Amino acid sequence: MTTGELFLQQLINGLNLGAMYSLLALGFTLVYGIMELINFSHFNVFMVGAFIALGVLRLMGLDGQIVILTGLPLVVVILVAFVVTMFSTGMIGVGIERLLLRPLRAVTGPAAMILTIGVSYILFNIILIGVGGDTRNFANPLPSVSWHFGEATLRLRDVLIWGITIVLMLGLTYFVQFTKLGKGMRATAQDPEAARMMGVEVDNVVGLSFFIGSALAGASGLIFGLYYNYAKVDMGFSAGLRAFTAAVLGGIGNVPGAMLGGVLIGLIEAGSSQLIGQAWADVIIFSILVIVLVFRPAGLLGRQAPNKS
């Protein structure tokens, strides 16, 4: 491959990763924006989402790489997979919030964050014990349609991932900016107390942000499966950490920031894998996390400094 083709290919790869990280980062950012909580359970809600998607596809008769669908059946299968996965992980998020985090809402200090570490552990072990720790093949019913630009390849899969991500993001932006609940959400993020007094039902808003964030994590898990063609119980950790980095890079609490940050981290990962090797990509990304937090804690787009105290 020429340098130009390599660049193009890594751009395509990076955008796929970026789509995945953006969706996952949105969950971190929504919850942080509203509750100032780093939700570690999000790492493994993402992983559980991938396994739910795997199960849903299997229930629809898609197992491994054998079955290829086209036309309406493909659209239906993809749609059902996304809707069921997103709804399920959304409900998991709501359950975590309602049952475990709500009792800690009034507690100051790191208790809620530590609790989410425990929840993350539990989710991890539910899959580990229930499904097992080995790599599971992820069904990919997409026909292998692709377009070639020199030796760089753009596959139908890539276009689908981008398309779905863009639809989800537009939907979220519309919701947050223009609907009544979305306004309530933004109000709560700024000042929960004032929002409550203005008639915003803060409990519902918090629950909703968990639902949306976790549903997007589910979508992200499904995209991971479609992109890498596998699901594994430990996939949540590094994807989650990258997505969190993306949220911080864009400005945590800032919805467009999470989208931008996700894409940037995806591109950075693809680029650094190409240039210095996959093994060191993590080191690069964590270094970015540290550098951003230390020198520009508000992120690229964030206006509010995280150090409100």
Partner 1 sequence: MAVTDILARPFASWSQQKRQGWATILVAVAFAIYPFLTDDDSNIDTIANAMSYATLALGLNIVVGFAGLLDLGYAAFFAIGAYYYGIFTAYQVMPPWSSGWEPLAAVGLVEKINQGGGDLVHFTLSFWLALPTGALVAGLFGVLFGAPTLRLRGDYLAIVTLGFGEIVPIVARNADSITNGAAGLNGVKGPALPAIKALGFEGYSFGVNATPYYYVGMVLVAILIFSSIRLRDSRIGRAWMAIREDETAASAMGINLRNFKLLAFAIGASFSGFTGVYFVSKLQVATPEMFNFSVSSMLIVMVVLGGMGSVWGVVVGAALLQLLQTWILPRSTDVIRAIGESVGSDFLMAADLVQWTQMFFGIIIVVMMLFRREGLIPATRAQPKLDLEEQQADVKRGGFVNVDRIEKWNPGTGNALEIKDVTVRFGGLVALNKVSLTIPAGGVIAVIGPNGSGKSTLFNAITGLVPSEGSIKFEGHELIGLRPDEVLAAGVARTFQNIRLFPKLTVLENVLIGQHCRLKTLPFGAIFRPPAARAEEQGALRKALDILGLFGNRLSPRANHTVAGLSYANRRRVEISRALASRPRILLLDEPTAGMNPNETLELAEQIGELNAMGLTILIIEHKLDVVTRLANRVTVLDHGDVIAEGTADEVQRNEEVLTAYLGRAHRAKIEAQDAAAKENANG
Which residues of this chain interact with partner 1, rule CB under 8 A? Answer: 36-38, 100, 103-104, 107, 109-115, 117-122, 124-126, 128-129, 237-238, 241, 244-245, 248, 279-280, 282-283, 286, 289-290, 293-294, 297, 306-307, 309
Taking the complex as a whole, the smallest distance from the CB of residue 282 to partner 1 amounts, in Å, to: 6
Nearer to partner 1, 56 or 123 (CB): 123
Q: How far apart are CA 170 and CA 95, in angstroms?
A: 26
Q: Which is nearer to partner 1, 229 or 238 (CB)?
A: 238
Identify the DSSP state of 304: S
Residue 69 or 233 having the CB closest to partner 1: 233
What CA–CA distances, in Å, run from 298 to 249, 305, 306? 8, 5, 6
Question: Which helix (DSSP H) or strand (DSSP E) does residue 65 occupy?
Answer: none
Q: Cα–Cα distances in Å, from 95 out to 90, 98, 129, 155, 303?
A: 9, 5, 21, 37, 31
Work out how close the CB of 141 gets to partner 1 at its nearest, in angstroms, rounded to a whole number: 33
Tokens 């990763």 sit on residue: 17
Closer CB to partner 1, 267 or 284, in the complex: 284
Strands in the chain per DSSP E = 136-137, 146-149, 152-155, 230-231
Which residue, 129 or 198, has its beta carbon nearer to partner 1?
129
Q: How far is the CB of 49 from partner 1 (least distance, A)?
A: 18
CB of 116 to partner 1, least distance (A): 9
Closest separation between CB of residue 169 and partner 1, Å?
Answer: 24
Look up residue 250 and give its amino acid.
G
